Amino acid sequence: MTITTGDKLPDATLLKMGADGPEEVALSDKTKGRKVAIFAVPGAFTPTCHSAHVPSFIRTKADFDAKGVDEIICVSVNDPFVMNAWGKDTGASDAGITMLGDPQSEFTKAIGMDFTAPPAGLITRSKRYAMLVEDGTVKVLHVEDNPGVCETSAGESLLDAI
């Protein structure tokens, strides 16, 4: 079942790079009692994700802060090593965006946002989306129809909806 506005996020454990290597992150700890923007991409370093989606949230970070958003999280079906390198390469980490990996696609599948595109080498990846979550509940959800496009899921579009 695909998640929709009004649904609670499922329990999920994602991964980030810590000082001593990969660390587990309980998504519920990130969202409990907080307002969080979560956006997901098909893959780190892929063209639209790298040149459009992440930059849209870097550009709008201060505006999200001004609207009371506690944290912006980028999720991708990649390992935490890749997410760490990508966060550094794009400037997302320096901008204060949290880069979390869902390497086995468990969270992505649990919310019904997985897809596979073998011709592009994308196997069990995440659809491109952005959501606003308040205290674990989805308040706004924007899903792209085409994974190669970043319009309704861009930082500016989510910001306009909140």
Reply yes or no on whether 150 is catalytic. no
Q: Pick the catalytic residue: 27, 38, 49, 131?
A: 49
Q: In this structure, are residues 52 and 16 in contact, taking their beta carbons and an 8 Å threshold?
A: no
Task: Identify the residue whose tokens are 């306009």.
Answer: 160
Q: Please give the Cα distance from 64 to 87 (Å, whole number).
A: 18
Q: Please give the Cα distance from 72 to 61 (Å, whole number).
A: 8
Amino acid (1-letter code) at residue 91 = G
Q: In this structure, are residues 147 and 57 in contact, taking their beta carbons and an 8 Å threshold?
A: no
Q: Which are the catalytic amino acids?
A: 49
